[in-house]
C-alpha cells in the first residue's frame, strides 16, 4: 500500500522514526561508498530533528540534542535550512546524500521558500547524490496530502515515515527507489520490524486515509486552523503571525512566552507544544472536527487575553 501510493519502489519496516532514519542513513552511506568512490557524508540542516539514537542525534542539527552524549557519529555536515547556496558550498566528492525535513517540525515549524526543495532535487541530480526526505512528521496526511513531497512537486530517492503510520502502534518505515536500494540480505534487520500487529494497524490507517475521508478532512481543517490562527494577530500584541502546512502549524509570538501559554492552555484542556521560546506548535488529530478547531483557538485566545492583561 505504501509503494502503490508513493513514488518509491521498496519498503523496510522497523519500529520507530529514529529506526527508520537509522536505516536511511545506513542505506545512503552504503550507496555512497559504492557509487561515490567511498563518499559517505550526509548534508543535514541546522535546527533539524531526526531522532534520539546515536546516529540520528548526530544527524540532528540542534546542538542541545547532540552535545550531552560525547563525540557524535562522524559523517554529517550542517547547513542552514532553506539556504541553497550553503548546500552547494558543502557538497564535496565525499557527499553521498542530503537529508531534509520538507518542513522542520521540532525546529519551529519552519517552512522553506516555495522552490527550495525543487532546487535541492535539481542539485542532487546534477551532482549524482541522493535526496533523503524525513517525512516522519509531515507524512501520512499531516500536510493535507499523503506526503509533503507531493506539494513540492519533487520525488525523493529515500523517504522515512513513522508517527501516524499506524495510529499509535509502534512502527516505522524506510522507503527507497530501486536505484538507491543497495541493501542485500544481512545488511539490515529488526526483530520486530514488520510484525503482524503493527503492519495490520498500518494497513488500517492507510485505508482510512485513502478511503475514509481523512485526507480531505485534514486539508479542510488545516485551512481552517490557518485562518483562525492568522486572525489572532489582529487582536493580540503577543501574536506576530502563523506558519505551517496542513495540520502542522506554528503560532508565532512576539516575546518568549510560549511555555507560559502552553502551560495555561494545558490547564484549560488543550495540549500545544512550545517547540521554541516564541513559537507554539499545533498538531491536532487528522480526524479533528471543525468545532474542535474553534474550541482550541478559543482556549488560546483566552490564555493570550489573560497574559496580556497581566
The one catalytic residue in 49, 78, 183, 282 is: 49
What is the full DSSP assignment across the chain? -TTTTSS--EEEEESSHHHHHHHHHHHHHHHHHHHTTT--EEEEEBT----SSHHHHHS-B-HHHHGGGSSPPS-EEEE-TT-HHHHHHH--TTEEEEEE-SSBTTTT-BPPPTTHHHHHHHHHHHHT-EEEEE-TTTTTTTTSSS-HHHHHT---SEEEE-GGGGTTS--EEEEE-GGG----TTS---SSTT-HHHHHHHHHHHHHHHHSSHHHHHHHHHHHHHHHHHHHTTT-TTEEEEEEETTEEEEEESSS-HHHHHHHHHHTT---EEEETTEEEE---TT--HHHHHHHHHHHHHHHHHHHH-
7 φ, ψ (degrees, to nearest 5): -95, 5
* Backbone conformation region of residue 47, classed left if phi is above 0, alpha if psi is from -120 to 50, else beta: left
Distance, in Å, from the CA atom of 250 to the CA atom of 268, rounded to the nearest integer, reads: 19
Please give the pLDDT value at position 276: 95
pLDDT by residue (tens digit) across 146-167? Answer: 999 999 999 999 999 999 999 9
Residue intervals in the chain for CATH 3.90.1150.10 = 216-309
Inter-helix orientation angle 258-267/290-309, to 10°: 120
15 φ, ψ (degrees, to nearest 5): -120, -5
Residue 84 has pLDDT above 90, yes or no: yes
Distance, in Å, from the CA atom of 263 to the CA atom of 180, rounded to the nearest integer, reads: 45
Residue 76 has pLDDT above 90, yes or no: yes
pTM for this prediction? 0.96
pLDDT by residue (tens digit) across 252-276? Answer: 999 999 999 999 999 999 999 999 9
The one catalytic residue in 134, 177, 183, 282 is: 134
Mean pLDDT of 71-83: 97
Q: Which CATH number fits domain 216-309: 3.90.1150.10, 3.30.2310.20, 3.30.70.20, 1.10.10.10?
A: 3.90.1150.10
Architecture of domain 10-211: 3-Layer(aba) Sandwich (3.40)
Please name the residues in contact with 54: beta carbons below 8 A apart, sequence gap of 6 or more: 69, 72, 73
pLDDT by residue (tens digit) across 278-290? Answer: 999 999 999 999 9
Determine whether 78 is an active site residue: no
% of the chain exceeding 70 in pLDDT: 100
Please give the pLDDT value at position 310: 82
The one catalytic residue in 30, 76, 82, 163 is: 163
Residue intervals in the chain for CATH 3.40.640.10 = 10-211
Determine whether 134 is an active site residue: yes
Residues 99 and 43: beta-carbon distance below 8 Å:
yes
Distance, in Å, from the CA atom of 141 to the CA atom of 126, rounded to the nearest integer, reads: 30
Amino acid at each position: 500500500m505504501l509503494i502503490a501510493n508513493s513514488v518509491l519502489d521498496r519498503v523496510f519496516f522497523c519500529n520507530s522514526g529514529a529506526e527508520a532514519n537509522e536505516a536511511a542513513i545506513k542505506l545512503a552511506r552504503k550507496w555512497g561508498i559504492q557509487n561515490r568512490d567511498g563518499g559517505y557524508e550526509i548534508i543535514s540542516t541546522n535546527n533539524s530533528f531526526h531522532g534520539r539514537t546515536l546516529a540520528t542525534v548526530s544527524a540532528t542539527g540542534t546542538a542541545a540534542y547532540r552535545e550531552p552524549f560525547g563525540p557524535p557519529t562522524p559523517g554529517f555536515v550542517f547547513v542552514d535550512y532553506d539556504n541553497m547556496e550553503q548546500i552547494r558550498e558543502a557538497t564535496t566528492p565525499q557527499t553521498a546524500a542530503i537529508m531534509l525535513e520538507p518542513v522542520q517540525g521540532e525546529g519551529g515549524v519552519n517552512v522553506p521558500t516555495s522552490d527550495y526543495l525543487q532546487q535541492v532535487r535539481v542539485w542532487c541530480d546534477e551532482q549524482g547524490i541522493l535526496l533523503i526526505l524525513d517525512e516522519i512528521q509531515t507524512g501520512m496526511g499531516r500536510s493535507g496530502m499523503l506526503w509533503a513531497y507531493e506539494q513540492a512537486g519533487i520525488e525523493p530517492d529515500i523517504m522515512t515515515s513513522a508517527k501516524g503510520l499506524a495510529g499509535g502502534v509502534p512502527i516505522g518505515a524506510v522507503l527507497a527507489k530501486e536505484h538507491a536500494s543497495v541493501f542485500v540480505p544481512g545488511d539490515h534487520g529488526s526483530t520486530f520490524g514488520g510484525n503482524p500487529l503493527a503492519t495490520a494497524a498500518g494497513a488500517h490507517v492507510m485505508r482510512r486515509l485513502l478511503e475514509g475521508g481523512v485526507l480531505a478532512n485534514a486539508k479542510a481543517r488545516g485551512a481552517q486552523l490557518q485562518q483562525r490562527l492568522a486572525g489572532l494577530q489582529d487582536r493580540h500584541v503577543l501574536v506576530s503571525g502563523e506558519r505551517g502546512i496542513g495540520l502542522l502549524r506554528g503560532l508565532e509570538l512576539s516575546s518568549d512566552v510560549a511555555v507560559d501559554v502552553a502551560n495555561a492552555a494545558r490547564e484549560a484542556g488543550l495540549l500545544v507544544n512550545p517547540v521554541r521560546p516564541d513559537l507554539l506548535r499545533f498538531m491536532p488529530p487528522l480526524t479533528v472536527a471543525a468545532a474542535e478547531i474553534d474550541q482550541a483557538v478559543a482556549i488560546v485566545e483566552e490564555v493570550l487575553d489573560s497574559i496580556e492583561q497581566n
